[in-house]
C-alpha cells in the first residue's frame, strides 16, 4: 500500500477544509498551543513509519492515556476490573456526572473521566510507584525514553478541574474510590499530561494492533481476549458521544484526547495517529476525524 502518497494526499486535502473546531480552553495551559498544528503518522505491520506535517512534535495526549492505564490494570486484575467499571458506551460527554447517581457510582466505561478516575485509583493500589511505572511503560511502548509529564499542564488541571474533583468525590461516596481524592487526581492529571508525538503514539498503540504483543520485545502484554476487549472498548467508548459517528465514518477502534490527538488501529495491519488541536463540539479533533475518514475510505481498511 503506498501509504506515504496516501498520507500526503489526505494532508493536502484536509488542510484546505475550513477548520470550524476550537482549541480546548477549559485547561488554560492547553489553550496556549498553536492551533494550526497538524500532523499524521502511520506505522504498518512491518514497522515502517510514514508521516506528514507536525508528526514529530509532542503534544498533550490527555484522554488517550486512559487506554494505557486501563490496559495495565486489565493485565493485572483481569475481569475483576468490571466490578469497578462498566464496558458500555455512555452516550454522554466525557466529563458528565449524570449517569453516576442512578448507576450507584459505577462508571459506564473506563474512558469517560469518571471511569478513568476509578482506574487511577486502581493504579495507586497495584503499583508501588504508579507515576514512575506508567511513564516507563509508555516509554517502552513508544520506544522513546525522552517522553515525560508536563508539570505545567498538571498544575493547570489541578487549579481548574472542578468537575473531576466533583466526580472523584461523588464516586467515593459510593465506595468505588479507595484512596484520597487528591491522590487519585494527582495521578490522573499526570497521566493526562504526558506529551507524545504522532509517531510516538502510533508506536505505542501497536500492541493493540498486534494481539497484545509488544512488537519490539516480542513479549505478550495482554492475552488475545484482553486485547480484543481493549479494542472493543475503543470502538464503543473511545470518542464518547461521538463513538457512533466515528464508527460510522472511520470504522476503526480508536481514542481521542482534548490535546487534539486521535489514534486508531487496524488489527494486524497498521496504527495511525493524527494531531490537530482544534476540536469539534464533542471534544474530538476536527481534522483528526476528517483525516481518518479519508484514510479508511481510500485504503478500504475499515474493520467493517
Tell me which residues touch ligand DON (CB under 6 A).
62-63, 94-95, 113, 157, 164, 192, 256-258, 283-284
Tell me the sheet residues that pair with 53.
Answer: 39
Least separation in angstroms between residue 281's CB and ligand DON is 12
User: Tell me, what DSSP letter sits at residue 285?
Assistant: B
Least separation in angstroms between residue 255's CB and ligand DON is 8
Please identify, using beta-carbon distances, which residue of 247 and 284 lies nearer to ligand DON: 284
Least separation in angstroms between residue 180's CB and ligand DON is 18
Please identify, using beta-carbon distances, which residue of 176 and 210 lies nearer to ligand DON: 176
Buried b (16+ CB within 10 A) or exposed e, 10-19: bbeebeeeeb
DSSP assignment of 146-202: T-B--HHHHHHHHHH-HHHHHHHHHHHHTT---S-HHHHHHHHHHHHH-EE-HHHHH
Please identify, using beta-carbon distances, which residue of 161 and 212 lies nearer to ligand DON: 161
Do 193 and 153 form a contact (C-beta atoms < 8 A)?
yes
Q: Residue number with the shortest CB distance to ligand DON?
A: 63
Please identify, using beta-carbon distances, which residue of 156 and 210 lies nearer to ligand DON: 156
Least separation in angstroms between residue 80's CB and ligand DON is 25
Please identify, using beta-carbon distances, which residue of 142 and 285 lies nearer to ligand DON: 285
Least separation in angstroms between residue 63's CB and ligand DON is 3
Measured N-to-C along each axis, helices 65-77 and 130-142 cross at an angle, to the nearest 10 degrees, of 110
What does the block give as the cell for 133? 511505572
d(CA 294, CA 290): 6
Amino acid at each position: 500500500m503506498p501509504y506515504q502518497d496516501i498520507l500526503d494526499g489526505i494532508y493536502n486535502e484536509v488542510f484546505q477544509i475550513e477548520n470550524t473546531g476550537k482549541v480546548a480552553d477549559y485547561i488554560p495551559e492547553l489553550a496556549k498551543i498553536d492551533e494550526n498544528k497538524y500532523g499524521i503518522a502511520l506505522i504498518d505491520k512491518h514497522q515502517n513509519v510514514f508521516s506528514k506535517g507536525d508528526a514529530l512534535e509532542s503534544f498533550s495526549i490527555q484522554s488517550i492515556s486512559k487506554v494505557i492505564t486501563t490496559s495495565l490494570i486489565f493485565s493485572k486484575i483481569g475481569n475483576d476490573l468490571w466490578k469497578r467499571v462498566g464496558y458500555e458506551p455512555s452516550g454522554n460527554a466525557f466529563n458528565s456526572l449524570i449517569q453516576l447517581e442512578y448507576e450507584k457510582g459505577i462508571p459506564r466505561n473506563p474512558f469517560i473521566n469518571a471511569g478513568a478516575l476509578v482506574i487511577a485509583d486502581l493504579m495507586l493500589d497495584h503499583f508501588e510507584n504508579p507515576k514512575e511505572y506508567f511513564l516507563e511503560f509508555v516509554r517502552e511502548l513508544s520506544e522513546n525514553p525522552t517522553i515525560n509529564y508536563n508539570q505545567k499542564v498538571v498544575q493547570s488541571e489541578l487549579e481548574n478541574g472542578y468537575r473531576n474533583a466533583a466526580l472523584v468525590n461523588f464516586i467515593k461516596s459510593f465506595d468505588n474510590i479507595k484512596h484520597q481524592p487528591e491522590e487519585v487526581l494527582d495521578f490522573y492529571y499526570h497521566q493526562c499530561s504526558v506529551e507524545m508525538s504522532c509517531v510516538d503514539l502510533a508506536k505505542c498503540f501497536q500492541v493493540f494492533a498486534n494481539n497484545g504483543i509488544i512488537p519490539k520485545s516480542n513479549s505478550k502484554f495482554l492475552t488475545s481476549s484482553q486485547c480484543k476487549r481493549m479494542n472493543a472498548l475503543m470502538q464503543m467508548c473511545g470518542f464518547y458521544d461521538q463513538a457512533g459517528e466515528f464508527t460510522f465514518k472511520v470504522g476503526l477502534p480508536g481514542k481521542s484526547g482534548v490535546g487534539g490527538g486521535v489514534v486508531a488501529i487496524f488489527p494486524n495491519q497498521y496504527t495511525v495517529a493524527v494531531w490537530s488541536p482544534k476540536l469539534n463540539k464533542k471534544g474530538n479533533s476536527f481534522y483528526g476525524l476528517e483525516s481518518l475518514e479519508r484514510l479508511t475510505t481510500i485504503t478500504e481498511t475499515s474493520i467493517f
